[in-house]
Structure 1
Amino acid sequence: MKRNLLIVHGGGPTAVLNASLYGVITEAKKSDQIDKVYGAIGGTEAILNENFLDLAETPEEELKLLLQTPGTAIGSSRFAVEQIHYEQMKDIFKRNNIKYVLFNGGNGTMDTCGKVYEVCKKEDIYTVGIPKTIDNDIAIIDHAPGYGSAATFIANTTAEIGSDVKALPIHVTIIEAMGRNAGWITAASALAKKTKQDAPHLVYLPERPFDEEEFLVDVKKLYDQLGGVVVVVSEGLKDKNGVSIVPPIFKTDRAVYYGDVSAHLANLVIKKLGIKARSEKPGLIGRTSMAHQSEVDRQEAIQVGREAVQAALAGHSGVMVGIHRISNDPYSMETSFVPISEVMLHEKKLPSHFINERGNHVTQSFIDWCSPLIGKSIPDFINFKEKI
């Protein structure tokens, strides 16, 4: 008897989350073991509401639009799942003849996937995780789909801002990148730097304590040399005591909201150094930009979606499809099934060998690691001033 498959999206979207969805749907439609390919419309909470839509009924020409659609076509959520909800989910799966459950998301979503697995492992229900995060902070694996496109965006944005600042070198520009605890996106801005004069001139990551005085010394030195400076910082910068460099502006029972790090540092440059400064915070643009979608990222997103379906059909459960690098040049990778218990809420940060000694930039090792993931080179620009 044919059974149904359910795909659930959790957490923040990426530029290739729908590419993984495309991989899931197209692969599931090939199987004679699967009847309906349900999408949970609205994330994890949609399971409890049984808000399911059979995606297999979507015409192929419409499915292909997933590859160029930002966000998530089936919706997501940050719903706080309690233990009682997991028991309810098990009954809901049974009631809807769902045998295969796929969770596509980051650390938190993998935690949910693992807990669903524990509840359902004695039933004829198979759970498989599909990695997704722009932050690239899922443990064990080399990288996650979503990161390559976010890296492409920040690198191109930094290069373009750098060209502007080089043309009129009168101020310091501070770009704030997403990634509160892990600096993978911030670090990727360094791919824009092709010469010593190119942006980013300074890169500050949450993996190292931020020193205000060292920052001001670094900025002043470069400003005196170049006239215009581009700095890229993580939104999660903390001081040596582990406290955010900007004070909280609002608190709830579940979260603390902080002001903009880039604006704070720009104000600091103006007040302490007397240098004109401005801040830039791309924010959600950095994870929704289809113009900067990485081809490598898209293809890997499709692949892990397909392989998650194959894994479930083969009887694997309580695992996540993981990407592992074989080589940088030429770039190649392979996939494997990672036990879900090894990635549940485990956060991967930038390793020390990717950060320079002073903590204000990345190393060549990081550049070599990250470059293949953006799928295309940063455009070359011309500047006649440099020919004089």
Structure 2
Amino acid sequence: MIGNVIVGQSGGPTSVINSSLAGVFKTAKDRGAKKVYGMLHGVKGLLDKQYVDLSEKIKTDIDIDLLKRTPSSYLGSCRYKLPEIGEDRETYDKIFKILDELEIKYFFYIGGNDSMDTIKKLSDYGLIINSDIRFMGVPKTIDNDLAVTDHTPGYGSAAKFIASTMKEIIRDGLVYDYPQVTVVEIMGRNAGWLTAAAALARGEDCEGVDLIYLPEKVFDIDHFMARVEEKVGDGRSVVVAVSEGIKVEDGRYVFELADHVEFVDAFGHKQLAGTAKFLADKIGAAYGVKTRAIELATLQRCAAHMTSRTDITEAFNVGGAAVKAAFEGESGKVVVLKRVCDDPYMCITETHDVHQIANIEKKIPLEWITDDDYVTMDLIHYIRPLIQAELSPIMVDGLPRHLNINM
């Protein structure tokens, strides 16, 4: 036996995060891990000694298949920010004492930018105290904003859901013989990767969205209103995609221009909501047309019935690659995806120093955003391979079956 493994999930979930968990679990067991523990609610739960022996929960190949198809975080999640090492060594000593009690030799954390901050700090502290525990980050985020990696598992499926939903919204809006404006708010605090996926709706069977606004560029409300007026003047319905994180020139989020209740998490992130409603109300008041505000909200990250097979496969592979790297001696690393070919599409896995990934946001290159409030074909070509193919849910009594840790 190689030693015990522990794995946790952190941050916002995705529809394929559990495929990475399955990749970690299966690869660790196949390579001889004695036990594979799962942290409940990430490192915050670990501090409270909340964990399970995953072998008691995942017993068969069917369980693995169900886990891969189960949305959200099977183990639960957290948004817990570890203190700086110099400010609070007591917290780190407590974590390492728990890991030693469980005889942990390998620690895996599945998450996005803030989760990689956790891996960075734990691996750094491990070096300080000369621990032999190996720490590996497994990438996950629908936001697609992790540095170095070509893309992140979770993004492709969210992009597929967004593009598909936009096509349906466009069809619905064209039912009537009078113009209406639909503003669709899509997740994306500082990076517009998700909102950009709305551009994939355009094709031979669909007119596509009319305007796209991303947080990489300052949002000019007067310009926006003029562009909407121009589109409405054509006499047909208009569909606009906006990132929740678009900001005006003075740095305020657009949703902050309306009355709102502010909530800030442990990492200093404001809860974003209300951008679409603010803009739809402003359009309706100015032009007297029917408007509708739609927030895709959590649907875009939990729609496991529309996962991309490419995405769910890569999610499983990065989990397995993290185990392989750790068992071969690597630590303080993150598994990244490297695109080696576009036609046919092919990505391989590599590992990269977590210090060059944690707390660094990858945004859409400005050259991929057009001056006429849209995105370039280069960006569309980048996204399209990530949404390809499907992995059908396992249906029971007409509904998708999921794996539930409480069952």
> What TM-score bracket applies, with the shorter chain setting the length?
over 0.9
Instruction: Give the stretch that moved more between structures: 220-229 or 250-259.
Output: 250-259
Task: Tell me the equivalent position of 2:80.
Answer: 79
Q: CA deviation at 1:54?
A: 1.2
Aligned-residue offset at 1:258:
4.8
Secondary structure of 1:350 counterpart: coil
* Corresponding residue for residue 192 of structure 1: 201
- The CA deviation string for residues 137-169 of structure 1, in whole angstroms up to 9 with x for no partner, is 001111000000110011000000011112225
The one-letter amino acid of 1:41's match is: L
What whole-Å deviation, never above 9, does each CA across 1:54-79 have from its counterpart, x for those lacking one? 11232112232101111111111112
Decide whether the 8 Å contact of 1:181 with 1:349 is kept in 2. yes
CA change 1:251–1:279 in 2 (3 A) is closer
Mapped partners of 1:253, 1:73: distance in 2: 25
Rate the CA distance shift 1:87–1:43 in 2: closer, same or farther, 3 A.
Answer: same
Aligned residue for 1:345? 359
Q: Determine if the alignment matches structure 1 residue 367 to structure 2 residue 367.
A: no
Match of 2:100 among 94, 98, 101: 94
Q: CA deviation at 1:253?
A: 6.3
Aligned-pair CA distance for 1:252: 5.0
Is 1:44 equivalent to 2:43 in the alignment?
Answer: yes
State the percentage of identical aligned residues. 37
The answer to whether the aligner puts 1:161 opposite 2:169 as a matched pair is yes
Residue 133 to residue 221, structure 1, CA distance change in 2 (3 Å): same
Cα distance change, pair 253–270 in 1 and its aligned pair in 2 (3 A): closer
Question: 1:134 — aligned with what?
Answer: 142
Q: Secondary structure at the match of 2:242?
A: strand
Q: Which 5+ residue runs of structure 1 have no aligned equivalent? A: 378-388
1:177 to 169, 182, 186: 186
Question: How far, CA to CA, are the matches of 1:258 and 1:70 in structure 2?
Answer: 22
User: How well do the aligned residues superpose, as a CA RMSD in angstroms?
Assistant: 1.7
Structure 1 stretch displaced more, 287-296 or 297-306: 287-296
Structure 1 contact 134–144 (Cα < 8 Å) conserved: yes
Q: What is the distance in 2 between the residues matched to 1:289 and 1:55?
A: 25
Task: Output one character per residue of 1:245-287: Cα deviation in whole Å (capped at 9) or x when no partner.
Answer: 2226223564544541000010111112222111111100110
- Structure 2 Cα separation of the partners of residues 226 and 131 of structure 1: 45
SS class of match (2:164): helix
2:333 alignment partner in structure 1: 319
Structure 1 residue 103 corresponds to structure 2 residue 109: yes
Task: Give the 3-state SS of the residue equivalent to 2:42 in structure 1.
Answer: coil
Quote the residue 1:302 is aligned against: 316
Distance, in Å, in 1 between the alignment partners of 2:78 and 2:91 is 15
2: CA distance, partners of 1:64 / 1:291: 14
Question: Which ranges of structure 2 fall in alignment gaps of 5 or more residues?
Answer: 391-407
Bigger drift between 236-245 and 279-288 goes to 236-245
Provide the residue aligned with 1:212 in structure 2: 221
Structure 1 partner of 2:403: none
Task: Tell me, in whole angstroms, the C-alpha distance in 2 between the residues paired with 1:128 and 1:354.
Answer: 32
**CA distance in 2: counterparts of 1:119 and 1:277, whole angstroms:** 53
Specify whether residues 3 and 330 from structure 1 end up closer, same or farther in structure 2 by C-alpha distance, changes over 3 A only.
same
CA distance in structure 2 between the aligned counterparts of 1:291 and 1:92, rounded to whole angstroms: 37
- Identify the residue that residue 275 of structure 1 maps to in structure 2: 289
Q: 1:141 to 1:92 in 2, by over 3 A?
A: same
Write the deviation string for residues 181-210 of structure 1: whole angstroms up to 9, x where unpaired.
110000001000115971211000011111
- 1:227 is aligned to 236
* Structure 1 CA distance for aligned equivalents of residues 341 and 242 of structure 2: 29
1:65/1:253 Cα in 2 relative to 1: closer, same or farther (>3 Å)?
closer
Three-state SS of the structure 1 residue aligned to 2:179 is: coil
1:249 is matched with which residue? Answer: 260
The number of aligned residues is 375
Distance in 2, Cα, partners of 1:40 & 1:258:
28
User: Does the CA contact (< 8 Å) of 1:87 and 1:119 recur in 2?
Assistant: no
TM-score by length of 1: 0.93
Supply the distance in 2 between the matched residues of 1:3 and 1:131 (Cα, whole angstroms). 23
Letter in 2 for 1:35: K
Normalization by structure 2: what TM-score? 0.89
**Offset at 1:226?**
4.5
SS at match of 2:338: strand
Measured in 1, the distance between the counterparts of 2:40 and 2:271 equals 28
Q: Secondary structure at the match of 2:255?
A: coil
Deviation by residue 1:325-350 (Cα, 9 ceiling, x = unmatched): 11222111111111000111111111
Contact 1:86 1:115 in 2 (8 A): no
Identify which of 105, 118, 123 aligns with 1:112: 118
Amino acid in structure 1 at the alignment position of 2:366: S
> 1: distance between equivalents of 2:138 and 2:244?
26
Contact 1:134 1:185 in 2 (8 A): yes
